[in-house]
Amino acid sequence: MHTVSTRIFCCAAAFAASLLAMPATAHANGIAAPDNPFAGLFAEAANAPKNVQWDVYMTGYAHHGRSTYTGKQISKMNEQTLGAGLGRTLRDKRGNDESLYVIGMRDSHERAQWMAGYAYQWIFPVKHTSMEVGMGFSALMIRRHDWHGGRPFPAVLPVASIGKRDAQLLATYVPRISNNSKTKGDILLVMLKMAL
């Protein structure tokens, strides 16, 4: 069951990513194919290629809240969440970033976790440097073996970053789900995002 849902999620994410990169095309009979509903994210690519970039994501660390998990649970958790992903980022006219991404990584139980989503970050340049700080949110679909029977589910999470335009250290925070249980505590996930 889990293998089937993973394959379905991966196929759907790959299909969505291919649609995002595909422009509208005209057929031989003169009828145009429908426009991509997400074309606005990539519309500036033809006019200003420097504003749109492909990104590679490298996951690596998940800190499990020491006050929301028991010591026994933490000793069994994987905090080296190795994985990778691919995305596309648009630096809009206001200087903020809009991104689409697909990421696969090892979760806290050493099992596959898949994420696909959209992120928006307000970017704040650091004076007298080429560094910048970003704060925003990500709306995404997550697929884990231990949530919702292994089926993808939606989430909205905060996102923060520090770095330069072409290389950023990203962090997102997953809050504790329930105060009555220590089975699903809070997690700080850290990853690297680099332009291709």
Residue 107 known to be catalytic? yes
Catalytic residue among 55, 99, 108, 161: 108
Catalytic residue among 2, 63, 64, 145: 64
Sign (positive or negative) of CA dihedral 96, 83, 187, 141: positive
Residue 92 known to be catalytic? no
Q: How many helices (H) and strands (E) does the chain have?
A: 3, 8
Rounded-to-integer distance, Cα 87 and Cα 107, Å:
20
Catalytic residue among 97, 99, 107, 161: 107
Sign (positive or negative) of CA dihedral 46, 49, 52, 53: positive
Rounded-to-integer distance, Cα 33 and Cα 27, Å:
7
Residue 75 known to be catalytic? no
Catalytic residues: 64, 107-108
